[in-house]
């Protein structure tokens, strides 16, 4: 079984791993761990230390490397409790966690497109956003997916956009240049984010380019996402605090419990807030990143055939209270049948809201094939968040406050203001603009 092991090595090793300018070999960190086959090519990743909030208050993350931990990855024998017991008994091991397969969120639906991306443009009030100066200009928008083919996206849009090659990142073992990957799922996601944020700086993070033996071209490992988020944490911390803005779009998830430890076991991912990836997600949120995840395509009306959870299909980081979990509606405002329903596993009130999907847009999968799934809804929403960040930095409007704004202004589909089909409702760009204008007037 593939796992990531969380370690507490010596302080000087922790500091070296936390330093982006220092290369530390995995063998130097691990030492001798019985039954664990270390993957030497995976660089150790520093995970920030955190202190839970008292009486339900916000947790705090430490900037000091010695307060954190390090994760490495490798394999242990399947169903061998003696190896797990020996690893947990090691003085340096803080935890042994699942490293599940993660897969892009496609759709099970074969229905024709409902509207076009120009309809989505109208529904997002793109003209009003531009008039207000909200184009995403200067905002880093990371597409964590299969890689972007910029030429294909530009061809579909009839325009150009910026790939930030300097701040883009490849997982170990993945070759290719930012913006020049084969046309695939990531190109669709970039196209859809561009609808609301045409001037953002796009970071190409091809985590879904598989590095596991026997994997498909559309899946990867959660440990690669841990490494990607460690890189994005540096991207965020390198920005001036006054203008800090990083939006991260994730149209992927872990669909099957077969790749995970059982729920209730300490190494589980789907229900465990202490899994290293769930921790690093929260640390980026605390530092000012806006993180969006597709809710998934496991809706009861039309679930994707890969959906392995009998209930509560929104799990892991996709259900974190520190991210926006995005469901899908068509351009008529109707929930698409494959959009996953709550409650979530880490946070009950998921999805947060719905954004537009199943429209004719990038045509990366065929001239008449829609941009579909919550895979499309997530970057549509991420583009709107990036547009907002053009003039409202994470320092002025922290991610938690922005999440509350989006939830409050959504078009509610239930009298209570929330339901498990639509979350808080459908994203309402016009109402968001009105609220932002009120805020600006109050500050003037």
Contact 408, 425 (CB under 8 A): no
Rg (CA), the chain: 21
Q: Is 301 a catalytic residue?
A: no
211 pLDDT higher than 60: no
Q: What pLDDT band is residue 215 in, cutting at 50, 70 and 90?
A: very low
Q: Which residue among the candidates 46, 185, 231, 392 is catalytic per the annotation?
A: 185
What does each C-alpha distance from 300 to 120, 142, 313, 412, 421 come to in angstroms? 25, 30, 10, 21, 10
Distance CA 119, CA 93 (A): 53
Is 145 catalytic? The answer is: yes
Average the pLDDT over 264-293 and give the result.
96
201-205 and 140-144 beta bridge pairing: parallel
Which of these ranges, 34-38, 62-66, 229-233, has the smallest mean pLDDT? Answer: 62-66
Give residue 222's pLDDT band: very low, low, confident or very high (50, 70, 90). Answer: very high
Structure tokens at 10: 């010596």
Active-site position among 99, 119, 145, 204 = 145
Q: What angle do CA 120, 373, 149 make, to 5 degrees?
A: 75
The pLDDT of residue 218 is above 60 = no
Sequence-ordered list of residues with C-beta below 8 angstroms from that of 377, at least 6 positions apart, any chain: 294, 295, 326, 327, 328, 329, 339, 354, 355, 356, 357
Percentage of residues of the chain with pLDDT beyond 70? 96
Cα–Cα distance for residue pair 180/393, rounded to 1 Å = 30
pLDDT score of 106 more than 80:
no
Torsion angle in degrees (nearest 10) through CA of 330, 336, 339, 342: 100
Helix axis angle for 373-389 and 429-443, nearest 10°, is: 20
| pTM (global) more than 0.85 | yes
Based on the residue annotation, tell me whether 185 is a catalytic residue of this protein. Answer: yes
Q: Which of 249, 375, 392, 413 is catalytic?
A: 375
pLDDT band at residue 18 under the 50/70/90 scheme: very high
pLDDT band at 382 (very low <50, low <70, confident <90, very high): very high
């Amino acid at each position: 079984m593939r796992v990531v092991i969380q370690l507490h090595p010596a302080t000087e090793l922790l500091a070296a791993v936390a330093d982006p300018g220092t290369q530390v070999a995995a063998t130097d960190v691990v030492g001798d761990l019985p039954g664990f086959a270390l993957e030497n090519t995976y660089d150790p990743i520093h995970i920030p230390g955190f202190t839970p909030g008292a009486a339900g208050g916000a947790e705090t993350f430490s900037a000091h490397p010695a307060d954190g931990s390090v994760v490495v990855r490798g394999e242990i024998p399947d169903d061998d409790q003696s190896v797990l017991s020996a690893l947990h008994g090691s003085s340096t091991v803080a935890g042994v966690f699942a490293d599940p397969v993660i897969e892009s969120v496609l759709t099970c639906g074969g229905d024709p497109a409902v509207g076009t991306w120009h309809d989505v443009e109208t529904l997002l009030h793109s003209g009003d956003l531009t008039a207000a100066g909200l184009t995403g200009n200067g905002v880093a928008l990371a597409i964590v997916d299969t890689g972007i083919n910029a030429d294909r996206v530009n061809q579909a849009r009839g325009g150009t956009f910026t790939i930030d090659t300097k701040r883009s990142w490849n997982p170990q073992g993945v070759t290719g240049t930012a913006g020049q990957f084969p046309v695939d799922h990531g190109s669709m996601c970039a196209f859809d984010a561009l609808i609301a944020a045409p001037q953002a700086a796009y970071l190409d993070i091809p985590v879904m380019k598989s590095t596991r033996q026997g994997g498909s071209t559309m899946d990867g490992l959660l440990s690669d996402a841990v490494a990607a988020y460690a890189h994005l944490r540096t991207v965020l911390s390198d920005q001036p605090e006054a203008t800090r803005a990083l939006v991260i779009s994730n149209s992927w998830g872990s669909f099957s419990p077969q790749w995970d430890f059982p729920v209730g076991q300490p190494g589980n991912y789907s229900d465990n807030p202490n899994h290293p990836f769930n921790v690093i997600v929260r640390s980026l949120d605390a530092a000012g990143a806006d993180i969006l995840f597709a809710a998934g395509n496991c809706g009861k009306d039309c679930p994707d055939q890969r959906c392995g959870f009998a209930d509560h299909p929104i799990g892991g980081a996709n259900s974190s209270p520190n991210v926006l979990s995005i469901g899908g509606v068509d351009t008529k405002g109707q929930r698409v049948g494959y959009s996953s329903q709550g409650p979530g596993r880490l946070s009950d009130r998921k999805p947060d809201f719905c954004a537009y999907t199943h429209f004719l847009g990038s045509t990366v999968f065929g001239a008449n094939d829609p941009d579909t799934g919550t895979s499309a809804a997530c970057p549509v929403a991420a583009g709107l968040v990036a547009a907002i960040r053009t003039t409202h930095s994470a320092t002025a409007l922290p991610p938690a406050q922005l999440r509350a704004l989006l939830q409050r202004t959504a078009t509610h589909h239930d009298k209570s203001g929330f339901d498990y089909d639509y979350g808080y409702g459908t994203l309402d760009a016009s109402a968001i603009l009105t609220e932002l204008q009120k805020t600006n007037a109050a500050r003037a």
